Amino acid sequence: MTASKTSSVDTAGFQRRRAGLWQAVANDLKRNTSAAALDLGLSEQDMSDVFAGRSAPSAELVDAAVARWPINERDLLPINNDCPDGVLLYRAVDSLASARVFQRGGADYYEYRDTAMSRLSSFRPEWIRMLQVVDDDRVDNPGVQWNQGHLLYQFTYFVGPVNYYYRWDGESHVRRMHTGDSVWGLPFSPHTFTARNDSEPAFILALTYGAELMGDARHELAAMGPQIAAQFAWDWRDPAALRAAILRGHLDCAALSTEEFAARTAIPIDRLRVLLTPDKLPDPDETTAMAVALGVSERDLLPITADHPDGVVVCENKTAPRWGYPNPKRPDYEFTELAHNRLHPHTRGLEIRPRSVDTAAAISTPQHQYLYNIGSTPIVMRWTHGGTMRVATLAPGDSVYVMPFVPCAYHLESDADADTACLLDLRIGGTVTPEARIALGAMHPGGLERLLEEDRPWYRE
């Protein structure tokens, strides 16, 4: 049983996008159809069929292309769209069927259940029940079995009396969590969970997700090796030192000496030398002058500031911000803000409590969304994608993946449900970063469609 059980992959779209990648690779390498065919040992007609999507490239043809051209196998493969309706539903019954119990330290420790996952997004969210019960809050309780950490970032939502243990800089911590509390945590930090009693449900929604470290960045760094990868790592803990390192990096990129930079910025060289250390911050006019001289945006000179003491952000539900939306006086929804961090400005955790019966305002966001019905009553969800409105009823324990920019509305089946209806909503940014969004808007008109599915050579013969 996998998360794809309730989904269907768009095969025709995959084949079109694959053909587009072959055409785009040939364009990038300045190979017309006959030159590409000659390189790969095909007839011109067979090569043309691959570019047009009339025939599927064989594994041998992929091997030949990678051997002959400076490309990787993955450059020739698109991703699958398993969400052609804009929303992928995963029912509680499928979640239950995916249940598996793993032991740690010789005893049953966790029961895992899959929830909604899509091939379009890096969410890997699991429902996890704590089977180990402890009677104290000691980090060295022999029943506490630590993991070794993992790559994915983890947003965790707690239900019931769960103890959360985490380790940072060699120091172990424990927090007593309650229903609605949430945590955001960094990759590879060891952590674990136990239940404080076995008389009430104790589980978490462990919403792991990849972010900037996944995909191309990870593959590029892994291929270059640890010595080069380590030089890319910036120390975020001292914003002044990071600001100086960013500026030094721009000078290295542009091969500018301090003297040349001083001449271009009209900032005295002694002052510039100080600005290249963490001791002094540039004033706004100096930042503008440096950005102009470098030909970059001012934001490119600013450090990213994070706020995760001990590698985590803990948010207690009872003190979390709450607000009505979109009209605070007669809201369709009540939101509660959950754990998040400045390192991921496009990650947001929310509780959504629908307040309306029959209709509600549709909500749209550029983020990928994961939703789980954590309440005890059904919630009706309406969404529009490709000009078609669809409706589904989310029962307790059902979960959903929602594609970016798909407007969704949530409402109650009856007023009696208002106090028991609640959706957990985790929103994450995808690989389309702010830089990519600017680049999308900056292309020559007509470029967007060709970026997605290149359908022609770069010149007409």
Applying CB under 5 A, the residues found at the interface with Fe ion are: 154
Q: How far is the CB of 220 from Fe ion (least distance, A)?
A: 25
Q: Are 132 and 194 in contact (CB under 8 A)?
A: yes
Q: CB of 126: closest distance to Fe ion in angstroms?
A: 9
Q: Which of 165, 401 has the CB closer to Fe ion? A: 165
* Angstrom distance (rounded) from CA 293 to CA 315: 43
* CB burial string 348-371: b at 16+ within 10 A, e below: bbbbbbbbbeeebeebebebbbbb
Give 81 or 154: the residue with its C-beta nearer to Fe ion.
154
To Fe ion, the closest distance from the beta carbon of 304 in angstroms equals 24
Q: Which residues lie below 8 Å from residue 203, measured CB to CB, with a gap of 6+?
A: 127, 128, 129, 130, 159, 160, 162
| Smallest distance, Fe ion to C-beta of residue 209, A | 11
* Dist. CA 53–CA 378, nearest whole Å: 44
**Among 344, 318, 351, which residue's Cα sits nearest to residue 157?**
351
Exposure string of 52-84, with b = 16+ CB inside 10 Å and e = fewer, is ebebebeeebbebbeeebeeeeebbebebbbbe
Distance of closest approach, residue 351 Cβ to Fe ion, in angstroms: 21
By beta-carbon proximity to Fe ion, the closer residue of 207 and 343 is 207
**Is 191 within 8 Å of 166 (Cβ atoms)?**
yes
- The residue (of 154 and 194) whose beta carbon lies closer to Fe ion is 154
DSSP states of 257-293: -HHHHHHHHT--HHHHHHHTSTT-PPPHHHHHHHHHH
- Nearer CB in complex with Fe ion: 118/154: 154
With 0-12 CB in 10 A as exposed, 13-18 as middle and 19+ as buried, what is 411? buried
Question: For residues 109 and 410, which CB has a smaller minimum distance to Fe ion in the complex?
Answer: 109
332: which residues sit within 8 A by CB, 6+ positions away? 325, 326, 354, 355, 356, 360, 361, 409, 411
Helix, strand or coil, per DSSP, at residue 411: strand
What residues have CB less than 8 Å from 322, skipping those under 6 apart? 334, 335, 336, 337
Structure-block tokens of residue 25: 């690779």
Question: In the bound complex, which residue of the shown chain has the CB atom lying closest to Fe ion?
Answer: 154
Output 340 or 353, the one with its CB closest to Fe ion.
Answer: 340
CB of 82 to Fe ion, least distance (A): 24
Nearer to Fe ion, 206 or 291 (CB): 206
For the chain, the farthest-separated pair of C-alpha atoms sits apart, in whole angstroms, at: 78
Contacts of 407 (CB under 8 A, 6+ apart): 362, 363, 364, 383, 384
Cβ-based nearer residue to Fe ion, 154 or 163: 154
As measured in angstroms, the least distance from the Cβ of 222 to Fe ion is 22
Which C-beta is closer to Fe ion: that of 154 or that of 377?
154
Beta strand ranges found along 178-274 (DSSP E): 182-185, 191-195, 203-209
Closer to Fe ion by Cβ: residue 125 or 331: 125
Q: Identity (one letter) of the amino acid at 153?
A: Y
Please tell me the distance from the alpha carbon of residue 105 to that of residue 132, in angstroms, as a whole number: 10
CB of 206 to Fe ion, least distance (A): 5
Residue 388 in tokens: 């078609």
Instruction: Kindly state the smallest distance separating residue 184's Cβ from Fe ion, in Å.
Output: 12
Minimum Å gap between C-beta 22 and Fe ion is 39
Closest CB 323 distance from Fe ion, rounded Å: 30
Alpha helix locations (H) across 53-132?
A: 59-68, 92-97
